[in-house]
Amino acid sequence: MKALDHIKILDLTQFEAGPSCTEILAFLGAEVVKVESPRGGDQGRYLITEKPGLDSPYFLLLNANKKSITLNLKSDKGKALFKQLVPHFDVMVENYGPGAVEELGLGYEVIARINPRIVYAQVKGFGTYGPYAGYKSFDMIAQATGGAMSVTGTHETPPLKPGPTIGDTGTGIHCAVGILAALLQREKTGKGQRLEVSMQDAVVNLNRVAMLAHYLGSVPAPRTGNRVAVLAPTDLYPCAPGGPNDYAYLITTTQEMWESLLSTIGRPELLTDPRFADQRSRNAHFDELFQIIASWTRQRSKFEVMRAFGEAGVPCGAVLDSGDILANEHLRARGMITTIEHPTRGTFTMLGCPVQLSDSPVEIQPAPLLGQHNTEVLGTLLGLTKADLAGLKADGII
């Protein structure tokens, strides 16, 4: 049994912020039917690809476990077919540009009249109201306006874009939470509702703790790099052989961790060194302490450093690059990295589901080909015959 196997979702999303939302719901068992244009589908299908003509890794990573149908929603017939589908679904999700879905005649008021129980979810760059509502956005814009860039980097660098797409996938996860909440509320009221998540709002929410420095007098909240100034020796340490990602991050928060750290690097005599007697003293001598620990880490690989400190009870993480992640034995053991067979790309190693439920195991299925499920979905739900579907295809409707 899958946790959400009773939930059906109409997915009108593209690129990342929307697809990341519907993908995690699909992982958890929802039947997600991706509605795409017959002329190329989701714009992410062929974005950032090394094999022109095949669905891109970008698309495969964000659309696993879904079904795909094609409908030309700019045509009257395509819109009519879409509206016939609406009563069969619990959720509709869209992340088109500002006002686009309303221009198609598929706004909330229209859809709710057809199916009052539907949960109608929208992801927008700046929401549907407020001074910025008409502005378009992408992940980087959300990271800038949500405060993430201003606190990323060091005093010497300009604001930097964090590598993870927290403006896109971060927003998608927020939207999934909202959908689940609305479905639970529907159990009590019998009525659906409209929900929206702004990409800017989501990044601001993810920036909560970084904002803390502002309240403590550092106005604006500063860029502090890798170092936590009040928790010496918390920092990023260089490891052998000295490549661009040969680093390990180390953090100590208790006296016990500090003592274990010194035992691990073979420097127990520093316990009685007045420079490092307590946290305040260690903070005052951060640079000296850094050099002592770094002289030990530079002689070992990041994995050796992580293992030594981890086994000693000191929190430490090797900086895993993309290749490390795809090969990581721990992530593979947990199913977070898995290998699937795709109908056109063949063997493909991808990221799995980060949420694990004991009674709802996840089996990763490849992202669908464009229109792969037209016959299954349109035929079954709307009673269209093969001849009907062939006619619709000839007319450019599907």
Which residues form the catalytic set? 168
Residue closest to 351 by CA, chosen among 70, 23, 84: 23
- Residue 51 C-beta-side C-alpha neighbours within 13 Å: 10
How far apart CA 187 and CA 179 sit, in angstroms, is: 13
| Residues whose CB falls within 8 Å of the CB of residue 139, separated by 6 or more in sequence, listed in order | 16, 17, 165, 166, 167, 168, 199
Structure tokens belonging to residue 195: 């929900």
Residue 323's nearest CA partner among 251, 250, 244 is 244
* Rg value, the chain, Cα: 25
Could you list the beta-strand ranges (E) of the chain: 8-12, 31-36, 67-70, 91-94, 119-124, 194-198, 235-238, 247-250, 316-318, 337-342, 346-351
| Alpha-carbon span 398 to 396, nearest angstrom | 6
* Cα dist from 346 to 57, 327, 339, whole Å: 12, 18, 10
| Exposure on the CB side of residue 291, measured as CA atoms within 13 A | 3
Is residue 239 within 8 Å of 247, Cβ to Cβ? Answer: yes
